[in-house]
Structure 1
Amino acid sequence: MQKFLMSFVLFFVSVNADAQESAVAAIRSHYQKTQARIQKLATEEGKSEGLYLYLISDNYYGGSWPAVGYFKYEEKYYYELGDNQERKIVKISISRAHASRYYDEEYLFDDKGELIFAFHKTVEDDERTERYYYKNGIPIRVIENGRVTDKLSDAQKKAAESVKKSAKGHASMLRSK
């Protein structure tokens, strides 16, 4: 009986891990397809395949600012038009650069407008990267500086929820236009 229970537990853990890997692989595939569409939009004007860009920029050409030096800020909202011409968010990219510090954020959404992936990169004195994967609104994986975590700590869950809230706030900005 004990062998049966142990076998059942190992089988369940294996199936759960496979399902999680499958979900992450699907998110990565969606990301790559979205990036290809964005690249096509950027290089072949007018051939956007239904993808559009709403751009907010400050100091677009990166001119020097007093007491700061280099400064540039951009928010890019990639979207599709729905049946009633409403904007359906696809991806948000935010980049900030000032002096020697850089901050990048990316938020990827599924076809229903739900956050499925977030990426944050901070370059200050050192470089830090964070990747968050979501399935059905729940964080399923966090990668911090290359270290993969599938069983999230309370602190990681809290950070993932904060990232999700931030993405929702940015996405609502586009919907208000």
Structure 2
Amino acid sequence: MSIASIIRGRRSIKNGYKPDAVPEKLILELLNDAVYAPNHGLREPWRFLFIPTEKKEEFIERMMPVYPADQQEKRRALFSEPAAFLIVIMKEDPRQKQWEEDFSATSALIQNFQLLAWEKGLGVVWKTNPHNLDPKAHKVLGVQPGEKIVGFLHLGFFDPDKTPQAAPRTPAEEKFTRFE
């Protein structure tokens, strides 16, 4: 497959995951390629927290107190969909320019990961929910002061025959200008 066809063909898989375990070995294989994302000064500002399939229920139970009682069942249902999770955490540089470079690099790494996962038949959706910023969630997940959750990646294998249709994209020409 060409890079263009992988980019155009990749979809966010939000549900319909198979119950198959997501192997840690596969996640590490994908990450070892994804880390080749461009990153200024090779600061590599990221780290990863993997919640494997066999630890998912324990993870869900530990996350439930983060939410108000009236939201817990909805959250439990959402967390029960994927087979595993990968949380991408970034070290926050206090200097704005470096922070923006590091956030951009970490975002590029996540996109690399999604494309690589797609190639292997692993569905991913990149979530940026309010719990990413919640100090209670940070405590559960071991996120330290000076760190930011950039992405909560929901992972699972899926039936390729049930791949969502592509949403239309605006042609670049409609957003393109030339400096005169």
TM tier, smaller: under 0.3
Of structures 1 and 2, the one with the larger relative CO (CA 8 A, separation 6+) is 2
TM-score by length of 1: 0.26
Structure having the higher strand fraction is 1
Larger Rg: 1
TM-score by length of 2: 0.26
